[in-house]
Structures are given as structure tokens and as C-alpha cells.
Structure 1
Amino acid sequence: MSAIKKIYKALPESIRDTALVRTFGLFKVPLLFWISPTVVELSKERCEVRIPLNRKTKNHLKSMYFGVLAAGADCAGGLAAMKLIIESGQNVSLAFKDFKAEFHQRAEADTHFICNQGKEIADFVTKVVESGERHHMPVEIVAICPKISQEPVATFTLTLSLKNKSKKS
């Protein structure tokens, strides 16, 4: 086992998951790296990602820029699937087919993006890994600013689109 893998395995899981997201961002989606997401929870049931409200993420009204809110929803909606795909060892492409958002109030503090469909996503990834077909699944994300209120500042529906490219159909 390489030294990097040993270090990675020695890290607490929450730090490991944050490192996964930020490394992916650094090399594949620089905006994710730039906005500094932190994985609060990644369990079989739930994914919660926090994005800080700071100079890089706020708009002229001093609330979170809607593009950053969209990136947070993308991150929370795709992280559970991404981790399961990595664990499967298969070459599965992950994309979002569409994106729907409702903005309810300004996000004026650090914002948490929560997806409670972990079990459904795990079943979905298993279905895709066993298939050579592209499959789609709607994923619901709620954004809250817990320092202010538990009321949603935004809700999102993203259609997760996966295909196992390792398997011939």
C-alpha cells in the first residue's frame, strides 16, 4: 500500500470525505475547490455538506451567491454516489441531467446542503453497476443556514444520471 493510501486510511472518515471532495474539485471542478466545501456527514442515509459564507461565496447583498448554492446542491447530491462508485471499482460516469431550484430566502450564513436519500442512491448505484444502461434518479437537496434557522433557504431537485462504462450492453 502506498504511503498516500496509508495516510488517507488513517484519517478520520469526515476528514477523508472532505479531502475527497476538495481533491476532486482541485483536479476536476475547480469551483468546488474554490468554495471550500466541508463534509459534515456522509452516512448510508444522509449526506450533509457545509459551504462557508465568505468573500469568495457571497454576492453584493452579502448573502450566498446563487451559483455557489447550485454548486453546494451539486456536491451534496453527487457525493454519496461518487463515493459508492469509487468503492465499486467500476468505471461509472456521473452527471446531472437537469436542475430545478427554489430560493426561499437569502442564505446569510454558512449554508448546509442536505440529501436524505442515501439508501435510495446506494440501490441506484448498485442497479447501474450491474447494468450497461444509463439510468436516471431525482435527488432532493435542502439548503439551510443552521446558525439562523432550520427553515430551508433553498430546495433543489437534480436528476442524477449514471452509466457503467465498464460493462458492455
Structure 2
Amino acid sequence: MDNTALIKKIKWQLYLLGKFKIPMIGYTGLKLVEITETTTKVKIRLKRRTKNHLNSMYFGSLAIGADVAGGLHAFYFANKYGKTVSFAFKGMECEFLKRAESDCIFVSEDGKKVEDAIKKSIETEERINETTNVNVLNIENEVVAKFKLIVSVKCK
């Protein structure tokens, strides 16, 4: 499968996930901006549904963006290798550096770590845990939050 078709398939899977399995993804209006073998970028707009009483991005919206940015590589590599992936987050650590008072881009550059976990899971047929980092950037390209997520994957 070429990369363009793979990206289109992942966008469709993300839409279906937000529509039927995890409605909060759909509720935030999260959009896939970029996905490569190393980097994932997703965007959440600051709007009525995603902001808090301080007119900054709500913690739950930030967590959803980090969740998707940190987890999309699992779908990407499972599709690439023609496998079904079962994945969940086992832990999360977050640091808020400043208020997110604009649209936000969630960036994960740990694609290689997730690919290695997927490969190891395919080889061993066991669940593998890997820590991924997600930085949240505002429209001025400032880091407003940092997330560390423990992704747990198992491939069949």
C-alpha cells in the first residue's frame, strides 16, 4: 500500500473511531494534519466544545489530542504490516507550561519507538509497552504542554 493510500485509510479509521467507538474524538473535531514514519501531528481548534471557563483549552481536550497523537502510529504501522492491533494507554504524565489559548497542534515524534514495539509484538505475540512523548504547540509555535504516554500494543 502506498503512503497516500495508507494516510487516507488512517484518516477514515480516525473518523470511524470518533463516530462509533470513541465519540469524544469526534466531539472535539480533531483533525489529522500529518503522519509519517516518525511524526504524527493532529489539530484541535479552540472553540466552545473544547475550551474551559478560562477560555483556554480544556484539560480533557488536551488529553484527547495527546491520546490520538501518541496512538496513531500504532494504527499506521499495524496497517503497514497488515496486522490487527489492540492498543491502549497504560499511563499518562503531563506538564502544563502555559494556558493553551488558541488552536493547538499535538506532535509526537516517536514513530520509530512505536514501530519497534509493533515489530516486537508481532514476533513475540505478546503485549508490549512503550513510552511516547507528545508536545502541544499553540499557534505561535510555543510548547504549552508536554505529555508522556505509556502505549500498550499487541498485534495479531
Mark yes or no: TM-score above 0.5. Answer: yes
Q: Which moved more, 1:84-93 or 1:103-112?
A: 84-93
Q: Give me the identity figure in percent.
A: 37
Q: Is the 8 A contact 2:113 2:130 kept in 1?
A: no
Give the aligned partner of residue 31 of structure 2: 38
Unaligned ranges ≥5, structure 2: none
Deviation at 1:129, TM superposition (A): 1.5
Q: Is the 8 A contact 1:46 1:116 kept in 2?
A: yes
User: Does the C-alpha gap of structure 1 residues 12 and 101 become closer, same or farther in structure 2, counting only changes over 3 Å?
Assistant: same
1:49-100 deviation per Cα after TM superposition (whole angstroms, max 9, x unaligned): 0011111101111110001100100000001112222333333310011011
Q: Is the 8 A contact 1:53 1:111 kept in 2?
A: yes
Which runs of structure 2 are paired with 1:9-158 in the superposition (5 Å)? 16-145=9-138, 147=139, 149-158=140-149
Task: Give distance in 2, aligned partners of 1:150 and 1:75.
Answer: 19
Q: TM-score, normalised by structure 2?
A: 0.90
Unaligned ranges ≥5, structure 1: 1-8
Q: Which moved more, 1:128-137 or 1:71-80?
A: 128-137
Q: The residue matched to 1:72 in structure 2 has which SS?
A: helix
User: Does the C-alpha gap of structure 1 residues 38 and 15 become closer, same or farther in structure 2, counting only changes over 3 Å?
Assistant: farther
Cα RMSD of the aligned pairs, angstroms, is: 1.9
Q: Which amino acid aligns with 2:46?
A: L
Q: The residue matched to 2:135 in structure 1 has which SS?
A: strand
Task: Give distance in 1, aligned partners of 2:91 and 2:22.
Answer: 18
1:93-143 deviation per Cα after TM superposition (whole angstroms, max 9, x unaligned): 100110111011111111000001112211221111222211110000000
Q: TM-score, normalised by structure 1?
A: 0.83
Q: The residue matched to 1:142 in structure 2 has which SS?
A: strand
Q: Which has the larger radius of gyration?
A: 1
